[in-house]
Amino acid sequence: MDEWPSGLRSRPLLRTAGITDAELRRLRVVRALVTVRPGGYVAADDPALQIPAGRHALAIRAALPHLADGSVVSHVSAAIVHGLPVWRIPLDRVHVTRNRRSGGRRTRHVHLHAATLDLDEITEVDGVVVTTRARTVADLARTVPFEQAVVVADGALFGGLHRSAVLDAVVRSAHRRGNTAALRAVEFADGRAESPDESRSRVAIARCGLPVPILQHRFEIAGGARVDFWWPEHGTVGEFDGRVKYGRLLRPGQDPAEVLWEEKRREDALRDTGASVVRWVWDEIPTFDPVADRIRRAFARH
């Protein structure tokens, strides 16, 4: 397969290139080609296959020629096209919406939604007709659990989308099921959250009844420091420790151990200001009560 560039290929395209059905079956058996959906194939070493969002993006492209006229990529599929973060939202089907009152259905590969869809709620991204970011966030906030909705909404606001645009998208379809939940998620959203796990931490903090923290507060210490969460009235800093976060801090050619050393020096400097620092990791977010107890104990020391 070295002569084939990476990227999605349809069965007709492969046949035109001289690949017979027998050869296509053999390429699939030896895993030189991977089936994205029936009739859509990609080289097994395509990097897009390494992450769920990348694989779903390929499935969207493979589905486009088979969609009925007027179909608009929507919901989680539109979020993937827009580059919005998604967390624990199923990616097993391509979601599309058609502007009609009824007729929604699900097949093995496509979830068709029937809903009112105005022209100003449709856009095009890299040749794909999709719902706008605002409509996409609103649709997901209506249909997925609160935590997942906040991850998407935070990511959209972080990317520059105005909350008012999302609220407008929710309000203009006030009759739709899930609108109350959507309003709650959009009002809770905060564009200062820089990652899905910071968004999930915000939800966990609220769920445990802790005060609302300030996000991305900057301390004027040597070299400067920006912290994930800050409770000024309690003199307490909250920090989510994640591999992705440290990857963002890593400069070209820098040793990861150096980043950890710099983080330790940064934390020592924060403690020198009199602040308490409470850290947590990814697997502590779902059962956040022990972390919340550590935060409350830090509050009590001030």
Q: How confident is the model at residue 287 (pLDDT cuts 50, 70, 90)?
A: very high
> 231 pLDDT exceeds 60?
yes
Q: What is the mean pLDDT of the chain?
A: 90
Residue 254 has pLDDT above 70, yes or no: no
| Sheet with strand 9-10: strands edge to edge | 9-10, 40-43, 33-37
197: left (phi over 0), alpha (psi -120 to 50) or beta: alpha
Residue 285 has pLDDT above 50, yes or no: yes
> Is pLDDT above 70 for 270?
yes
Work out the pLDDT band at 150, boundaries 50, 70, 90: very high
Q: What's this model's pTM, rounded to 2 decimal places?
A: 0.89
pLDDT of residue 255: 58
Parse the chain into domains and list their residue ranges. Answer: 9-50, 53-188, 196-300
Q: What is the pLDDT of residues 19-45, one digit of tens each?
A: 999 999 999 999 999 999 888 999 999
pLDDT of residue 104: 92
- For strands 236-241 and 276-281, give the pairing: parallel
pLDDT in tens, 197-221: 999 999 999 999 999 999 999 998 8
**Residue 13, amino acid:** L
pLDDT of residue 2: 40
**Residue 41 structure tokens:** 């194939």
For domain 196-300, the question of CATH label 3.40.960.10 is answered with yes
